Amino acid sequence: MEPIDRVAIIGAGNMGSGIAQKSAQEGFKIQMVDREQRYVEDGIGKIQSSLSEAVQRRIFSETQVEEIMARVTKGIGADSVHPETDLVIEAVFEDINVKGEVLYDLSQSCGDRTIIATNTSSLSVDELANKSDRPDRFIGLHFFYHPAKNRLVEVIPSSSTSDSTLKSVTQFCRAMGKVVITCKDRPGFVVNRFFVPWLNEACLLYEEGVGTPAQIDDEAMRIFGIGMGPFALMNLTGPSIALHSTDYLAEQLETERFEGADSLRELVERGGEWDISDSNVADEEQCQIIRNRLLGSVLCISSQIVEEGVCSVEDVDRGAKVGLRWSKGPFEIANEIGTEIAADISGQYATLAGIESPKLLSDRDSKPFEFKFIDVEYADNVAYITFNRPEAMNALNEAVIEQLRVLWSSIELNDSIHTVVMRGSGKAFIAGADIKFFIDRIEDSKIDEIYDFTKMGHDVLKMIESSEKQTIAVVSGLALGGGLELAMCCDHRIGVSGKTMLRFPETGIGIYPGLGGTQRAVRIAGIECARFSVIAGNWLTSDIAHSMGFITSLVEFKDLDRTLENIISGKIEARGYQFGPRDPDDEAIKQIMRVYGSNWKENILKGGGSSEFISKQSKMISRNAPIAVEVASRLMDIANESREDFEIGLNEELRGLNGIFSTSDALEGLKGVIEGRRVLYKGE
């Protein structure tokens, strides 16, 4: 697999400029190409406008925007593509003949090693691959609008795409922080396959007089947990796009029900928009029909997708939640209403649409779906584990921990596996534990269940830490709380320069790191760096995390796979527990060591203001829950004092759980995270 570093985007419209912007933001060298200078300038203007808005919202600084734009160069015509380009993404008009012409031109101008990808929401990747001179180095991508903001991308290999091409492009998408769904080349791929008929079904409901656009939108928002119903969405993106998409899908799937509704076609012909200003109040009979029809279409078609092997149940739900921002995926909704009811609604729609009723739901005998949140692949005596719950930033909950326990037990029994690599899907490795789980248990007076969950987590992490298998955590994005605690159990922790960010946020939300964090932080980086990280809850950039030792190898993204290979082959040795920072001569580390030494309370809590650094630390700690700060401090002292017996501190962590979760500060702090508000702690 060859790493991708230099990318050319062909087509400077909304999609092309958005893909270029996101790629440049993530550090790739980008060439924006179109057939005329004015189109390229328009595309550059779109990027600059979007980034200016990001500056106003304090997402980026002016300096960061300058660095991003410096990575974008211009090109006129396909023959201007830089000869060293690793990946070309064609993002021109969604017409197979137009795309075919561009692919022919690229065949003449691109180097032999260049991968060519087509960005398409519906066209056959196999058919387009046949128009390319390199079918093995050709692949389909479906970026969702707006590509700089929407995290989903569907990756569609053709029947001739090589494994190396698939891996390189998938890695590129992951480096962009995208949630990747790899799917078969079928009309509509995954999300549009059920989303486009859903839009059309809303139009059919309207023209049949079941409800007004406002009524249908209101019921759809309630069912799917979305901020916009189908008619408001079509107004936003353009009714003509919806009509084109549904007609194309109807043709490709030979399904008359999917042909654009007359009401939609008439609206497009007169160039209008849906009127959603009427009252949205509907009676129960109307709501029931709307609910069954919209749900039926989604459940039926989603089941077809899975039965055809396009992708998994989990990926369908992932596509809905990440790509469409639905609060629940189709199969989660099926579980919620009951799979027997879901099967009945799905069957009714199949009859209405004149299509074969899928058996995925009807054959379940009312059993709910069980979702897999951890994926594993085996290659060359290595197990590659991916935490794949990106809509929740891969947060740990009971199901994830139990799945990890079962998976790890099977890996331990597999003598052919010598190394295990763990990574997260999307922008996070793992963003801590599921906070709602904690809140629900506290409010239900079931803190003992929090203890049981944490104890199971302790047991799993001990299994990983004590394993004779070599363990590697690829922390290429966020690792917070429990995610960082899991990473610390691994022999190696690879970070990506400028992208990896670590943090222990617990004392700021009324608790303390309970999965061994207070103990392993001290063992890895020393008590001073542990205090800086845990008590104050400071963000750790990739550089400071590397200097402390939380990250054992810090690399540029293009060198990530090479470093991974070197670790797997034994060329890079594990650092182990040193009870001190990796680089004590780093100036930032020296300052932390001075301030967070044995007199840290006097330095910070009583002497705040004597320096800018101390003043900042004092302010941060003052915002955290005082009981949590005190308990975390005591636990880290235990870790430092009982270096020969790791179990002492781990047991103390567990022993203190009932107490910390019984404080009013814990409930208030956890709720503050969910509600997005600042909390004032009472120390109770």
Is 158 among the catalytic positions? no
Which CATH number covers residue 652?
3.90.226.10
Same domain, 198 and 178: no
Nearest to 395 by CA among 368, 374, 417: 374
Number of Cβ within 10 Å of residue 22's Cβ equals 25
Phi and psi, residue 498, nearest 5°:
80, -10
Domain boundary among 155, 182, 209: 182
Instruction: Report the C-alpha gap between 333 and 343 in whole angstroms.
Output: 12
Same domain, 532 and 633: yes
Phi and psi, residue 641, nearest 5°:
-90, -25
Residues of the chain predicted below pLDDT 70: 1, 606-610
Long-range contacts of 400-404 (CB under 8 A, 24+ apart): 400/373, 400/374, 401/453, 401/456, 401/457, 401/460, 402/456, 403/372, 403/373, 403/374, 404/374, 404/460
Same domain, 444 and 553: yes
- What would the pLDDT profile of 416-472 be if each residue is shown by its tens digit? 999 999 999 989 999 999 999 999 999 999 999 999 999 999 999 999 999 999 999
C-alpha distance from residue 585 to each of 277, 523, 548 (Å): 65, 19, 11
Is 82 among the catalytic positions? no
Is 630 among the catalytic positions? no
Same domain, 428 and 513: yes
Domain boundary among 340, 362, 384: 362
Q: In the sheet that 72-76 helps form, which strands lie side by side, from edge to edge? A: 72-76, 29-34, 6-10, 87-90, 115-119, 138-143, 152-157, 179-182
The answer to whether residue 547 is domain-embedded is: yes
Place of tokens 């392993």: 520
Same domain, 542 and 411: yes
- What would the pLDDT profile of 627-647 be if each residue is shown by its tens digit? 999 999 999 999 999 999 999
| Contact by Cβ (8 Å): 156, 125 | yes
For residue 88, the cross-strand partners are: 8, 116
Choosing from 50, 119, 121, 624, the catalytic residue is 121
Which CATH number covers residue 236?
1.10.1040.50
At 607 the pLDDT is: 58
Q: What residues make up the domain containing 469? A: 374-675
Output the DSSP codes for 635-676: HHHHHHH-TT-HHHHHHHHHHTHHHHHTSHHHHHHHHHHHHT
- HSE on the CB side for 18, CA within 13 Å? 17
Number of domains in the chain: 3
Same domain, 197 and 336: yes
Same domain, 425 and 565: yes
Per the structure block, which two tokens stand in for 358? 């899928």
Place of tokens 């960082």: 484
Choosing from 17, 119, 192, 357, the catalytic residue is 192
Choosing from 90, 119, 132, 154, the catalytic residue is 154
The answer to whether residue 680 is domain-embedded is: no
Per the structure block, which two tokens stand in for 604? 């910070």
Same domain, 525 and 660: yes
The answer to whether residue 414 is domain-embedded is: yes
The answer to whether residue 369 is domain-embedded is: no
Single-letter code of the amino acid located at 431: A
Same domain, 96 and 30: yes
Which CATH number covers residue 137?
3.40.50.720
Choosing from 82, 142, 458, 546, the catalytic residue is 142
The answer to whether residue 683 is domain-embedded is: no
Domain boundary among 141, 163, 182: 182
Question: How deeply is 8 buried, as exposed, middle or buried, from its count of CB atoms within 10 A (0-12, 13-18, 19+)?
Answer: buried
Place of tokens 């979702």: 371
Same domain, 34 and 65: yes
The answer to whether residue 681 is domain-embedded is: no
Q: What is the pTM of this model?
A: 0.92
Q: What is the mean pLDDT of the chain?
A: 95
Is 546 among the catalytic positions? no
Nearest to 253 by CA among 324, 192, 334: 192
Same domain, 671 and 526: yes
The answer to whether residue 368 is domain-embedded is: no
The answer to whether residue 621 is domain-embedded is: yes
Same domain, 172 and 198: no
